[in-house]
Amino acid sequence: MPNDPHSTISDEHAEPDPRNLIDHFKYWKHDAIVAALDTRRHEFVVVLENFAYDFNIATAIRNANAFLAREIWIVGRRRFDRRGAMGTHRYQHVHYTKEEPELLDRFKSEGMRIVAVDNVEGAQSLIDYVWQPKSVLLFGQEQIGVSVEALARADDVVYIPQYGSTRSINVGTASGIAMFSYAGSVLGNPKGWD
């Protein structure tokens, strides 16, 4: 068992930590984990617009944790089934709003680039897209996409090219692909925690 000052367990015969955490954070207290993550959070923000399915909200939050988003905003509904997030929502800064236009306008005033991810006409391929560090990744509801009002506020609209017969992929999956694209373009390989 690691000799870590954040450890909550000192007995070498203690039960294993059941949380979905990398080894470095095993046995750390919740607040210590959040504080450590806060020292490395990236400049991108995730906005989930009116998602209809709990699974997609939870998946997007788990993806935001994997790529260490600064924060996540859920537009519309407040409640969702957190089981799909595998506990990662506890380590992220998740906020709720019904005032999406004001939220996007605030981000723009902070110098952030609003990037809507949707497969609408005129969207740019994610393969060729050059991310800016201060970006808002905006995802719309499955089947409906990003709202017209939000698209009007977006600086860029990108889509994920697909090679098979389907027109689109699950928005939870799409969020992970877009965040990975951002990370690959802006962040490079992650630093280890040890």
Q: What is the pTM of this model?
A: 0.85
Contact 188, 19 (CB under 8 A): no
CATH of the domain at 102: 3.40.1280.10
Domain that includes residue 141, residue range? 23-187
Residue 16, in any domain of the structure:
no
Residue 59, Cβ neighbours under 10 Å: how many? 22
* Helix, strand, or coil (residue 186): helix
Q: Kind of pairing, strands 156-159 and 124-125?
A: parallel
Long-range Cβ pairs for the range 66-70 (8 Å, 24+): 66/176, 66/179, 67/42, 67/179, 67/180, 67/182, 67/183, 67/187, 68/37, 68/40, 68/41, 68/42, 69/41, 69/42, 69/44, 69/45, 69/179, 70/41, 70/42, 70/43, 70/44, 70/45
Residue 193, in any domain of the structure:
no
Residue 14, in any domain of the structure:
no
Please report, in tens digits, the pLDDT of each residue of the chain (194 residues total).
444 545 444 344 456 667 777 778 878 888 988 888 889 999 999 999 876 666 788 889 889 999 999 999 999 865 665 555 555 666 678 888 888 999 999 999 999 999 999 999 999 999 999 999 999 999 998 778 899 999 999 999 999 999 998 878 888 899 999 999 999 999 999 888 87
Residue 72, Cβ neighbours under 10 Å: how many? 23
Count of domains observed in the chain: 1
Residue 32, in any domain of the structure:
yes
For the sheet with 124-125, list strands across it: 94-97, 71-75, 45-49, 135-139, 113-117, 156-159, 124-125
Residue 9, in any domain of the structure:
no
